[in-house]
Amino acid sequence: MLSFRTELENPVVEQEIIELERKIRAYQQGRLSEEKFRSLRLARGVYGQRQPGVQMVRIKLPFGKVTFKQLLKIADISDEYASRNLHLTTRQDIQIHYVSLDKTPELWAKLAEDDMTLREACGNTVRNVTASPTAGIDPSEPFDVSPYAQKTFEYFLRNPICAEMGRKFKIAFSCSERDTAFSYIHDFGFIPKVRVVDGKEVRGFKVMMGGGLGAQPILAYEVYDFLEEQWVIPYIEATLRVFDRYGERNNRNKARFKYLVQKLGLQEVLRLIEEEKTALKAKEVFVDHNIIALPSLPNTEVECVEPIDKERYNVWRFTNVFEQKQKGYFGVYVKVLTGDIPTEKARRLVEGIQNHVADDIRITQNQNLLFKFVREESLPHLFNLLTELGFAQPGYDSTADITTCPGTDTCNLGISNSTEMARVLEQYIHEFHEEFVYEQDLKIKISGCMNSCGQHGLAHIGFHGSSVKVEGKVVPAAQVMLGGGTIGDGKGRVAERVIKVPTKRVLQVVDLLLNDFKQNKLSSENFHAYYDRQGKDYFYRLLKPLSDLSSLTADEFVDWGHQDTFETAIGVGECAGVVIDLVATLLFEAEEKLEWANKALEQDQFADAIYHAYSSFVWTAKALLLDKGVNASTQAAVLSEFDNRYVNEGIFSFPTSFTERVLQINKYEPSKEFAEVYIKQAAAFYYEAAERREELRVVSN
């Protein structure tokens, strides 16, 4: 049995942890398929690493908020179960690495003691809900979006409508028109707006839909210039229902929501969303504006100290410190190289900042930290502490602040070592282009592969890992991307592929680009204007000499941070989960969903009960279709194909059609009466299907 304490406040969490342990045992004993187990553990934040036999565990922190106690708990857990390091991600999570699968239930239980979860941090569900790190203290924000991010996180966590979608779904709340949460590259992005109606201030959001990065970045569409706050979560729910039903499930490369919008067209997707509104759990969801309590403020009496390096302190204060909207307080950005904090440093950091910053640290989208409610007299102390720990580099969110994914350090999909490349580039910029620590309109971002976890697709200068062949040998390479980035208020740009160069030449790429920008830009030009004026071909010709492979040195056959000759070794990516296509597994899951439906009905959770029954309908039909060799790629196709292959052939009968029976789900309000009838219909279908399949199995034997 597990050794963790079972007095967790939420009995659902306790049951989930116990169930995870059971499923691990079933998998290890061969009673659970690899495909099914992979999907299950991903939905619980457990991700297979590049290294065999160990896992990456992702801790889901809504909008990047973490307290002193939580940070110390994660450090303790990393020491006990992982590699004594905390990795900050671009989605405001914390990851720990090299965890034994057997230890993940125990680890999760310890996190739950301090109100943290692994649930749905990976897999085909709603991922962590992100927000601008400055939310709540930003001088330019119309209002604090943190409560909306928190409520959205809570509403869709463990929600059956998004538990097993075709792919992941990402939501972000920017706090102002600066759009620092990148609304334009999310499945849903929200920007706060205020209108005055009949003399009253009304809160709402500009709504961006259908964006995404990945190998094929697509910019989001603006679908509302102002959607009142109480309709935001219902609109997300209706959209997720559409995505779950019509989204691709076989071809994972086309399974994101952005491709559904492309396939059906925006107007058809919007029409389908309207159709779902009848069935919603709630037509309006009001958010408690005080759900995120004001953090405990630092002690007002602190010992005044002098900065250990006055000149560097002045630069650091200019680039990494800003005045909050709350008079007398400052926000302080902490630059964390490649997002990695050794646990020993994490403890020293927390010890040193107490009484100087509020107990509400935010993880930023560029893998740094933000301290809030800092008094002016504490700034020198923080600078000295951060200098001692190696976190006082100036130039937050500047050209010298490079975002990167873990690359080949731990990721299955990594082609190149993006982390070491980032370290070398940052050092090079600080040494040879120091003026760029003040430049916030030119960002560099790196991904280890084309999937853009390091956000290279929205960079002014982006790199992603690749390779080229020379006389039968493989050379590590970097694809150079230029011209991407945030414009503001929901508008952005996707970086263009310009040229591919050996990865060891990225220093020369950056050197050429920064020097050319300094020398040739007009006085009023930012990088976007400069890039547009010069044109893509100009930069191709500028960088083309660096792509010449006729004069490669031995060092260029070795990737950054390695000693051996480069070899491409790409594993199977798990971020998107897998398609579950085993007939017996599907039927088992259909029965399990009926159990969940009845449990939800007993608790008067009628909308959830109905959706579980709907899922049972679909899973049962998909299982029978697979028996005929039909692997339908969407839930809508499952319904249609079942009518074609079973109902029209007289094997199953319904008053009208199977499709019409199942799609009652979006025709009726989620009442107790409809839930009871719908569950009975789903159960009758399941038992008839299971009986028929057993008869066929007996005959075939």
pLDDT at 7: 34
Q: Which of 697, 643, 683, 641 is nearest to 250 (CA)?
A: 641
Q: What is the pLDDT of residues 290-301, one digit of tens each?
A: 999 888 888 777
Residue 145 has pLDDT above 50, yes or no: yes
Q: What is the pLDDT of residue 574?
A: 53
Q: What's the pLDDT band for 372 if we cut at 50, 70, 90?
A: very high
Q: Is 197 left (phi over 0), alpha (psi -120 to 50) or beta?
A: beta
Residue bearing tokens 């940070």: 71
| Residue 315 amino acid letter | V
Q: How confident is the model at residue 4 (pLDDT cuts 50, 70, 90)?
A: very low
pLDDT tens digits for range 186-220: 999 999 999 999 999 999 999 999 999 988 999 99
pLDDT band at residue 701, thresholds of 50, 70 and 90? very low
pLDDT band at 532 (very low <50, low <70, confident <90, very high): very high
CA distance 37 to 25: 11
> Taking all residues of the chain, what is their mean pLDDT, rounded to a whole number?
91
Interatomic CA distance for residues 648 and 642, integer angstroms:
9
- Pairing outcome for strands 130-131 and 46-48: unpaired
Q: For the full predicted model, state whether its pTM sits above 0.85.
A: yes
**Please, are residues 88 and 129 in contact by the beta-carbon 8 Å criterion?**
no
Supply angle C-alpha 104, 105, 111, rounded to 5. Answer: 85
Distance CA 422, CA 367 (A): 12
Is residue 25 left, alpha or beta, with left meaning phi > 0 and alpha meaning psi from -120 to 50? alpha
pLDDT reported for residue 304: 86
Task: Please state, in angstroms and rounded to a whole number, the distance separating the CA atoms of residues 86 and 101.
Answer: 18
Q: Give the chain's domains with CATH numbers.
A: 11-112 (3.90.480.20), 130-279 (3.30.413.10), 310-389 (3.30.70.3340), 403-557 (3.30.413.10), 583-700 (1.20.120.330)
User: Could you tell me which residues are beta bridge partners of residue 204?
Assistant: 193, 228
Check: CB of residue 466 under 8 Å from CB of residue 415. yes
Rounded CA-CA distance 694/187 in Å is 42
The pLDDT score that the predictor gives to residue 50 is: 79
> What is the sign, positive or negative, of the torsion defined by CA atoms of 334, 335, 340, 341?
negative
Nearest to 377 by CA among 304, 318, 328, 444: 304
Name the least confident of 4-8, 156-160, 497-501.
4-8
CB 486 within 8 A of CB 492: yes
- Asked if pLDDT for residue 2 goes beyond 50, the answer is no
| Rounded Cα–Cα distance for residues 241 and 204 (Å) | 23
Contacting residues for 433 by C-beta, under 8 A, at least 6 apart = 399, 400, 511, 514
Q: Could you report how far apart the first and last alpha carbons of the chain are, in Å?
A: 40
pLDDT at residue number 696: 63
pLDDT score at 697: 60
User: Which DSSP string do the residues of 365-398 spell out, in sequence order?
Assistant: TTS-EEEEEE-GGGHHHHHHHHHHHT---S-TTS
Compute how many other C-beta atoms are within 10 angstroms of the C-beta atom of residue 23: 18
Structure token pair of residue 534: 């010069």
Pick the closest to residue 631 from 253, 243, 251 (CA basis).
Answer: 251
pLDDT confidence of residue 576: 41
pLDDT, one tens digit per residue, over 572-598 is 455 543 333 357 778 888 999 999 999
Tokens of 28: 């290890």
Instruction: List the beta bridge partners of residue 169.
Output: 126
Which residue has tokens 């830009």?
521
> Which of 50-64, 76-90, 132-146 is the least confident region?
50-64
The length of the chain in residues reads 701
